[in-house]
Amino acid sequence: MNLFCVCSGKGGTGKTLVSINLAFACAEFSNVKLIETDMLTPNMRFYLELPKKNCLNDALNGKKKPKETEIALKENLKIVQAAYDANPFKKIDHEKINKIIKEIAEENGTVFIDLPPGLNEDVIALLREFKSAIIVTNPEMGAVSDARKLVEICSELKAEVKGVIINRKQNNRKNSRRPENTRSSSLRKACNRKISGF
């Protein structure tokens, strides 16, 4: 099984949109599951116009079995949305969420886990368990700095960074002169990883 945690450090870099694009692209040649784990700011439902019927939170609350939370978008592409409404006061049971993801994931397929923002314990717990990361960043120093911290955290957790994606890179001349629109070469150097523009 190929499993990737799509993560960023900084919020709003495009993890969810990138996860969705990766899932659709891989579904051209593989069985794919896309699992949203951002319980506090879940947005997948808006991007994909998902019905308010199944979500990961239902499995966490014991209302549904893990596989019952899947929504099929195509024959070989299934989505699990995190939640409909955020509950900022509820602590996430990491052991339980990891177990649910393992039950949903299939042996001969590809799984993308869309992680919550930040470098908090919810993010760490998923990386520690699943050991594989795709980092999504933006061409701005703040986002790159957080991505760099995440590369270091992955190294400590022995999670493999499969790649770094620069989302929202603008190639036109006007923007390339803006100080925040960092060059790919500096990003590559900062993260010490292979970078793909998106």
Ligand X SMILES: Nc1ncnc2c1ncn2[C@@H]1O[C@H](COP(=O)(O)OP(=O)(O)O)[C@@H](O)[C@H]1O
Residue ranges that bind ligand X, judged by CB under 6 A = 8, 11-17, 43, 117, 167-168
For ligand X, which is the closer residue by CB, 104 or 166?
Answer: 166
For ligand X, which is the closer residue by CB, 66 or 139?
Answer: 139
CB of 7 closer than 8 Å to CB of 160: no
User: Residue 138: which of Mg ion, ligand X, none does it interact with, CB under 5 to 8 A by kind?
Assistant: none
User: Residue 42: which of ligand X, Mg ion, none does it interact with, CB under 5 to 8 A by kind?
Assistant: none
CB of 130 closer than 8 Å to CB of 14: no
Q: What binding mask, one character per residue, do residues 85-114 give for Mg ion by CB under 5 A, x or -?
A: ------------------------------
For Mg ion, which is the closer residue by CB, 16 or 81?
Answer: 16
For ligand X, which is the closer residue by CB, 64 or 167?
Answer: 167
What SS3 class is residue 103?
helix
The phi and psi torsions of 145 (rounded to 5 degrees) equal -60, -40
Site residues for Mg ion, 10-39, by CB under 5 A, read: 15-16, 38
Q: How far apart are CA 185 and CA 105, in angstroms?
A: 36
CB of 33 to ligand X, least distance (A): 18
CB of 19 to Mg ion, least distance (A): 8
Side-chain half-sphere exposure of 166, counting CA atoms within 13 A: 24
Q: How far apart are CA 146 and CA 115, in angstroms?
A: 14
Residue 72 tokens read as: 């099929």
Give residue 151's identity as a one-letter amino acid code. Answer: V
